[in-house]
A and B are shown apart, each in its own frame.
Chain A
Amino acid sequence: MTAEKKIRVLVAKPGLDSHDRGAKVVARAFRDAGMEVIYTGLRQTPEQIVETALQEDVDAIGLSILSGAHTILFPRIMELAKKKKLDDVLVFAGGIIPEEDVPALKKIGIAEVFGPGTPTDTLVKFVRENVWKKK
């Protein structure tokens, strides 16, 4: 009897954001969609995020950021992810990220960036359709 394979998603908040209302809404949506969501709370460093993703063997990482520090933090996160060979993990982002920054983020491996007000159904669909693609 084989157990059903669950999608494991890490919802992470890098940097110094002071609230996580949005991230929690997203986390709950993933849970309601049948996924296992690892939520690590506020003020995560890139090192903490990548190490958590490794230990928890997640299929996807959702980065939530409001502070504007994504231009510095995201490249650091992707660099560490590459170092630890997390190449088959789907990385996406959301929060306050200006449109003009998106192409550069996609170039470093962030699969998609979702703006505020994106319906959670869109996020769930995106994850379902794109996880395990690289495997």
Chain B
Amino acid sequence: MPLSQIEQLIKGVLKGNRKSIAKTISLIENDMPEAQKVVSLLYPHTGKAHIIGVTGPLGSGKSTLIEKIAKEIRKRKKTVGIVAVDPTSPFSGGAFLGDRVRMQDLSTDEGVFIRSMATRGSMGGIAKATKDAVNVLDASGKDVIIVETVGAGQTEVDVIKIAQTVVVVLAPGLGDEIQAIKAGIMEIGNIFVVNKADLENVDKAVGAIEAMLEMNTQKKDWKPSVVKTIATRGEGIVNLVEEISQHKAYLDSGAIHVRSRQRIEIELEEAVKRRLTEVILDNLKRREEFHELVDKILAKKTDPYSAAEVLLEGKLKKYKGN
């Protein structure tokens, strides 16, 4: 793609042109050669949006809740970007991206941009390109960006790499009292929502979450809150959006710099890992030596760790012992 075309795309994104945004996200998602250039050009224009990660188990009502949150935010005259992530089938490589079904009203709102993404092999609950899609929406001027992750147990924790405010959505009777206790989820959530609050055992669920939060002895300035909602009826939404605004205010008061630094460290680490894999690992995998070592491991003549050392012989000298 000629530089002039890239620059046209960037210009379009910065103006908020929806087609440019869509095309740019595709470019990055397909890892086209121009993707890196595009991300570099857009990066200086990011950092203004409030990024909210919404995570939680399947069936908790995340999509419906996000639609309501977006509508409430729109009432406050702010623009919204939504990235909805669904899993890629490990067998076919395809994906059924159905989150928009719950967000039909928003498709023709000019102040909302929704993009559905498949994980495409990423192990976490978010796609590799999700962060870049968020950057594009940020650079395009969206005030709030909501990322809906695949609710799949411990991989939900991945959302912390992207979001400034993490909203965990649970529902009574999904076994979530136990789910909530799983390592990570209780520590990364800034706001906990018990959706479908018209169901039985809602107060039990709220109680269980509050009890777990009390057990987190880490001294934090932000005390995570628990909000009850009935997304399908639009109840509890104003309350929830208020809590989200409160968290934003807390972040703006200084905490955001610590969080930003943490997120960016992870981003840089991942960018380096990606290049290392491309440059070194792919190279090693193409060698005869690699396949000979696999044969040796199969024959129990060596083990994976020793084999790895053999492959990397001499290449790591520069870094060992530093």
Chain A interface residues toward B at CB < 8 A: 1-6, 27-28, 30-41, 43-45, 47-48, 51-52, 54-57, 84-85
Contact = CB atoms under 8 A, between A and B. Distances in A.
Nearest to A86: B19
24 contacts: A1-B277, A2-B31, A3-B30, A3-B31, A5-B30, A28-B96, A32-B94, A33-B92, A36-B97, A37-B94, A37-B95, A37-B96, A38-B100, A39-B96, A39-B100, A40-B107, A41-B98, A43-B104, A45-B108, A48-B107, A51-B107, A51-B108, A52-B114, A55-B18
Contacts of A4: 93
A4 to B, nearest CB: 8
Contacts of B268: none
A31 B115 contact: no
B118 A6 contact: yes
B199 interface: no
Given A6-B120, A37-B95, 15 more contacts: A1-B274, A1-B282, A2-B31, A6-B94, A6-B118, A31-B96, A36-B88, A36-B94, A36-B95, A38-B98, A54-B18, A55-B18, A55-B107, A57-B25, A57-B26
A56 B113 CA distance: 9
Nearest to B29: A3
B108 A47 contact: yes
A48 B104 contact: yes
B115 A56 contact: yes
Contacts of B116: 36, 38, 56
Interface residues of B, number: 36
B19 A34 contact: no
Nearest to A28: B96
B101 interface: yes
B154 to A, nearest CB: 25
Contacts of A38: 97-98, 100, 116
Given A5-B30, A54-B18, A48 B94 contact: no
Interface of B: 18-19, 21-23, 25-26, 29-33, 88-89, 92-98, 100-101, 104, 107-108, 113-116, 118, 120, 274, 277-278, 282
A91 B234 CA distance: 36
B179 to A, nearest CB: 27
A5 B120 CA distance: 10
Contacts of B101: 39-41
Contacts of B22: 54-57
B109 to A, nearest CB: 9
Nearest to A48: B107
Contacts of A48: 104, 107-108
Contact of A39 (B93, B98, B274): B98
A50 B278 CA distance: 38
A28 B91 CA distance: 13
Contacts of A28: 96
A92 B183 CA distance: 48
B92 A32 contact: yes
Contacts of B89: 31-32
Nearest to B95: A36
Given A3-B30, A5-B30, A84-B19, A52 B107 contact: yes
A55 B115 contact: yes
A52 to B, nearest CB: 5
